[in-house]
C-alpha cells in the first residue's frame, strides 16, 4: 500500500478556527466585513508591532497595493530581489513599471546590500532612481535589513518588505515585516499559517492604510449611488477567511518553534554530509524556518539536489528546488539584473532544495526523509 503523501508544507489548523467561522455564520457576516477581519488585523498589529494593518485576499494583492501607495506607475523603476516567488515581482508589471533584479548574498540568500548599492549607483549615473525597493526574506530568513534600510534612506526611496514567508521571524529583536515603509504577509495554504488564501499589508502610515482600504474595496467615492474617480480592486479578505486567521494567530509561535526543531533535526542528521550547506541564520536574526532549505554541491556529495528530489518522490514525499530566480524567467528576460562577481541566485537555484517542513509532520515521516537521503549518500 502506498504511504500517505508527505507534503512540503501543508495547512495545520490549531483548533479554534472553526469557532471564529461559526461566529461569522451566527452573525451572518459572510462578507469581507465583520469582526473577524478587524480582529485579525488587530492580532497582526499586536504581534508585529506595526501601527496599521489591512487584511486582503492574497499576499500578491498586498504587494500590489504597497506599490500603488508608493506611487509606482508606468515606466517607473523598482529594485527587487531576484531569488523569490513570482508574486513578489509580478505586481511591478501590473503597474506597468520596470523591475531591476538584485542578486542574493550567500550569508542570508537574500538581497545583497552591496549589489543594491551597485544598482543605485548604476541608475544614478543614468539619471534614474527607483520608486521603491522590494526586499524578500526567503524561507523565513531576514535579509540584512539594517544595511538595506540605510541605503534606501540615503537615496530617499520607499522600502517594501515581502515577509510572505517570514511571519514570526525576527531581526534585531523586532518582528519580520516591520522594517519597511510597507510590509506584507501571505496566508496562502502552504505558508506558516494560513487562511486558505489571504494576505496582509502593514504600515505605520494611517493615511496610506486607509487609502489602500479604499482601493481594495473598488474605490467607491462617498455617495449613495456607485461613484468612482479612482481605479479600485476587489482585494478585501472575507470575514470567513479572517476567522481562520484568528485561530491560526493563536498557534503561530508554536508553529515557529516546531518548524525550527524540524530544521534542527535535519541539520543534525544530515549536516555533516560532504557538500551539504543549510541556509544560514545570521547572528542578529531568528528565522521561522518556514522551509528547511539547503544546497547540495554534487561534486562533493556525489549526488545532486535533483537526485534527492527524485528519490523522495519515489517514496511519495514532496521536496522542491529553491525558487528559480526572476532574472532567469522567460517572463522577465528583458529586465536588468545587478550582481557583484558571480550569480549567487543562480547557484542557489541550481543546487538548492527545500525539504518537507510541515508543522504537523510526524517524527517518523521526517526520519524516513532523513534515511532516504542517508541511503543516497552511502549508495553513491
State the residues that interact with ligand PLP by CB under 6 A: 58-60, 84-85, 87-88, 136, 162, 164-165, 186, 188, 199
> In whole angstroms, how close is the CB of 321 to ligand PLP at the nearest point?
14
What are the DSSP E strand ranges found in the chain?
A: 52-56, 77-81, 98-102, 132-136, 158-162, 170-171, 174-175, 182-186, 199-203, 276-278, 285-286, 292-296, 320-321, 337-338, 352-355
> In whole angstroms, how close is the CB of 63 to ligand PLP at the nearest point?
6
Q: Which residue is nearest to ligand PLP (CB)?
A: 59
* Exposure string over 34-52, b if 16+ CB within 10 A, otherwise e: bbbbebbbebbeebbebeb
Whichever of 186 and 305 has its CB closer to ligand PLP, that residue is 186
> In whole angstroms, how close is the CB of 244 to ligand PLP at the nearest point?
14
> In whole angstroms, how close is the CB of 281 to ligand PLP at the nearest point?
18
By residue count, the chain amounts to 380
> In whole angstroms, how close is the CB of 65 to ligand PLP at the nearest point?
12
- Residue owning grid cell 495554504: 189
> In whole angstroms, how close is the CB of 184 to ligand PLP at the nearest point?
7
> In whole angstroms, how close is the CB of 380 to ligand PLP at the nearest point?
33
> In whole angstroms, how close is the CB of 205 to ligand PLP at the nearest point?
21
Beta carbons within 8 Å of 108's beta carbon, 6+ residues apart: 138, 141, 142, 143, 144, 280, 282, 285
Q: What is the rounded distance in angstroms from the CA atom of residue 131 to the CA atom of residue 8? A: 36
DSSP string, 55-101: EES-HHHHHHHHHHHTT--TT-EEEEESSS-HHHHHHHHHTT-EEEE
Whichever of 165 and 343 has its CB closer to ligand PLP, that residue is 165
Whichever of 203 and 304 has its CB closer to ligand PLP, that residue is 203
Whichever of 143 and 311 has its CB closer to ligand PLP, that residue is 143
Rounded alpha-carbon distances, angstroms, from residue 281 to 93, 140, 211, 285, 321: 32, 9, 36, 7, 20
Whichever of 111 and 270 has its CB closer to ligand PLP, that residue is 111
Whichever of 235 and 303 has its CB closer to ligand PLP, that residue is 235
Helix (H) or strand (E) holding 204: none
Whichever of 102 and 376 has its CB closer to ligand PLP, that residue is 102
Closest CA to 199 of 184, 183, 179, 215: 184
For residue 194 the three cell numbers come to: 494560513
Whichever of 186 and 241 has its CB closer to ligand PLP, that residue is 186
Q: What is the rounded distance in angstroms from the CA atom of residue 74 to the CA atom of residue 199? A: 25
Amino acid at each position: 500500500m502506498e504511504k500517505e503523501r508527505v507534503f512540503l508544507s501543508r495547512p495545520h489548523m490549531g483548533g479554534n478556527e472553526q469557532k471564529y467561522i461559526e461566529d461569522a455564520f451566527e452573525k451572518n457576516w459572510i462578507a469581507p466585513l465583520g469582526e473577524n477581519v478587524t480582529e485579525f488585523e488587530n492580532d497582526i498589529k499586536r504581534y508585529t508591532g506595526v501601527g496599521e494593518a489591512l487584511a486582503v485576499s492574497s499576499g500578491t494583492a498586498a504587494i500590489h497595493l504597497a506599490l500603488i501607495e508608493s506611487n509606482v506607475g508606468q515606466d517607473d523603476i523598482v529594485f527587487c530581489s531576484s531569488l523569490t516567488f513570482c508574486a513578489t515581482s509580478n505586481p511591478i508589471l501590473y503597474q506597468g513599471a520596470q523591475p531591476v533584479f538584485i542578486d542574493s548574498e550567500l550569508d542570508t540568500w537574500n538581497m545583497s546590500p552591496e549589489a543594491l548599492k551597485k544598482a543605485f549607483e548604476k541608475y544614478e549615473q543614468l539619471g534614474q532612481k527607483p520608486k521603491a525597493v522590494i526586499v524578500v526574506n526567503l524561507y523565513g530568513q531576514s535579509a540584512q535589513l539594517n544595511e538595506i534600510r540605510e541605503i534606501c534612506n540615503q537615496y530617499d526611496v520607499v522600502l517594501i518588505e515581502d515577509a510572505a514567508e517570514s511571519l514570526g521571524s525576527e531581526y534585531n529583536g523586532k518582528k519580520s515585516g516591520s522594517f519597511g515603509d510597507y510590509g506584507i504577509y501571505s496566508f496562502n495554504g502552504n505558508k506558516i499559517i494560513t487562511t486558505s488564501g489571504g494576505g496582509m499589508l502593514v504600515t505605520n502610515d494611517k493615511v496610506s492604510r486607509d487609502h489602500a482600504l479604499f482601493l481594495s474595496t473598488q474605490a467607491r467615492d462617498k455617495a449613495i449611488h456607485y461613484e468612482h474617480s479612482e481605479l479600485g480592486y476587489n482585494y478585501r479578505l472575507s470575514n470567513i477567511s479572517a476567522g481562520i486567521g484568528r485561530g491560526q494567530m493563536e498557534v503561530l509561535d508554536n508553529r515557529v518553534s516546531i518548524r525550527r526543531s524540524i530544521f534542527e533535526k535535519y541539520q543534525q542528521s544530515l549536516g555533516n554530509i560532504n557538500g551539504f550547506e543549510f541556509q544560514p541564520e545570521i547572528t542578529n536574526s531568528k528565522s521561522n524556518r518556514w522551509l528547511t532549505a539547503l544546497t547540495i554541491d554534487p561534486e562533493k556529495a556525489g549526488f545532486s539536489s535533483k537526485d534527492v528530489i527524485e528519490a523522495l518522490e519515489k517514496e511519495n514525499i514532496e521536496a522542491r528546488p529553491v525558487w528559480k530566480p526572476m532574472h532567469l524567467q522567460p517572463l522577465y528576460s528583458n529586465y536588468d539584473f545587478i550582481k557583484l562577481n558571480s550569480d549567487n541566485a543562480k547557484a542557489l537555484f541550481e543546487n538548492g532544495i527545500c525539504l518537507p517542513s510541515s508543522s504537523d509532520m510526524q517524527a517518523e515521516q521526517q526520519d524516513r526523509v532523513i534515511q532516504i537521503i542517508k541511503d543516497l549518500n552511502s549508495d553513491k
